[in-house]
Structure 1
Amino acid sequence: MSGSQWVRSVMPRWPALSALPLLLLLVGAAGETSAYFADWGVIGGRPQEPTCVDIPQNMPLCSGIDYNKMRLPNLLEHDTLKEAQQQAGYWVPLLNLRCHPNTQLFLCSLFTPVCLESPIYPCRSLCEAVRSGCESRMQTYSFPWPEMLNCDKFPLDNDMCITVQHTGTPGPGECDDLPLTCPAATHITLVFPLAHRGLYRIDILTLYSNCCM
């Protein structure tokens, strides 16, 4: 999609887009989303118990991902599906730029995190990879990389986190040393590219029961 086509695609929702920095577009017209990263250290420490909910079918940012349940509140502290949907909509133009193959993985790990008792954040390296691919495209239109996605806020790769998803599948024996002792499950199987563990094939229910944590 060309720059002009991309701008036209969002013009009906923001008639004055040409006069607004993309930062305002991405963090939400009301400027609310930036507050969610005001104190990174408290994310995940909310008193509200997390719940599993269906990912809405009318949430185009995360359409086509390989799981259908998300953790709520999500990793951006959105407490309701309505709020998560509204805020996620502001990021679809960035996804449509196709500036990095892991853009959706990165954004959806925050907006629609897989439903586990313990949250898994995107690795700093994943953020940096997406930023490296997308920032120059954004700067072409004089739009900055949003501060709410400052990569320094994300965990290093030696932590349990989601790293860059490489194409292809692991070779023979590549996953033999993974500490998987749980029985195979019959529900959705995800491939988590976890730092320091390579491609980690695990079932959602296995993780959710803390069997393989």
Structure 2
Amino acid sequence: MHKMRAFVSVVTVLWGIAIPCMDAIHGLYNFGQHDLFHKKNSCRQIPENLLLCNAIEYTEMRLPNLLGHETMNEVLQQASSWTPLVQKQCHPDTRKFLCSLFAPVCLDDLDEPIQPCRSLCESVRHGCGPVMLAFGYPWPDMLDCSRFPEDNDLCIPPASIETVVPVTKEGTDL
């Protein structure tokens, strides 16, 4: 009974994640990157209540972000939906990847946003995709890793390969 109640609780949380996440991510497709580069960027302090990206390696984020959110309210509302996935610890770079989209680093000297590298996306997808799929949610098409640049100096790379912990069947038993 306890396992069933825990499963129902997790499914309810994930269902609560899925719908808002799809809304959050749709901006990546509807808000073309070409348009994004030409919008005036605005550096904003990462607010403390942006729990997904609180206390990361940088303090200022760019708006609009890489998902097309133009206001901090949009960012806060949509980013909160992804916190449970980070808490599942399906990949050590999940938070880094998501924050690079929701709260991209803002540098005054750089007009273009710094995107996650394709390898970062692929690595997180490899670790978290099976966890999401175990609850009936495939990796969203909106996060198609081919959209991101190949590894180079102008994108955010994954952590060292040695830090990646593979997901096992036991690891997906939530």
1:64 and 1:161 map into 2 onto residues whose CA distance is 20
Match of 1:36 among 28, 32, 36: 28
The aligned amino acid for 1:143 is Y
Match of 1:86 among 58, 77, 80: 77
Contact 2:24/2:67 (8 A) holds in 1:
no
Aligned residues: 157
Is 1:136 the counterpart of 2:156 in the alignment?
A: no
Normalising by structure 1, what TM-score? 0.64
Q: What residue in structure 1 maps to residue 47 of structure 2?
A: 56
Q: CA RMSD in A?
A: 2.9
SS of residue matched to 1:134: helix
1:153, CA displacement in angstroms?
0.7
Assess, with a 3 A threshold, how the Cα gap between structure 1 residues 159 and 125 changes in structure 2: closer, same or farther. Answer: same
The aligned amino acid for 2:158 is V
What does the per-residue CA deviation read over 1:118-153, in whole Å, with 9 as the maximum and x for residues that have no partner? 311000000000000011111111211111111011
Alignment of 1:31-180 (within 5 A): 31=23, 33-38=25-30, 40-42=32-34, 44-47=36-39, 49-116=40-107, 117=110, 118-158=112-152, 160-166=154-160
Gaps of 5+ in 2: 163-174
Indicate the structure (1 or 2) with the bigger Cα radius of gyration.
1
1:167, CA displacement in angstroms?
8.1
2:95 and 2:47 map into 1 onto residues whose CA distance is 16
1:124 and 1:134 map into 2 onto residues whose CA distance is 15
Assess, with a 3 A threshold, how the Cα gap between structure 1 residues 87 and 106 changes in structure 2: closer, same or farther. Answer: same
Which structure has the highest helix share of the two? Answer: 2
Normalising by structure 2, what TM-score? 0.77
The aligned amino acid for 1:162 is I
The aligned amino acid for 1:87 is Q
Assess, with a 3 A threshold, how the Cα gap between structure 1 residues 125 and 33 changes in structure 2: closer, same or farther. Answer: closer
1:162 and 1:147 map into 2 onto residues whose CA distance is 20
Gaps of 5+ in 1: 169-213
Contact 1:6/1:97 (8 A) holds in 2:
no
1:3 and 1:123 map into 2 onto residues whose CA distance is 39
What does the per-residue CA deviation read over 1:13-32, in whole Å, with 9 as the maximum and x for residues that have no partner? 88xx3xx7x642422xxx36
Task: State the percentage of identical aligned residues.
Answer: 43
Q: What residue in structure 1 maps to residue 9 of structure 2?
A: 8
Q: What residue in structure 1 maps to residue 166 of structure 2?
A: none
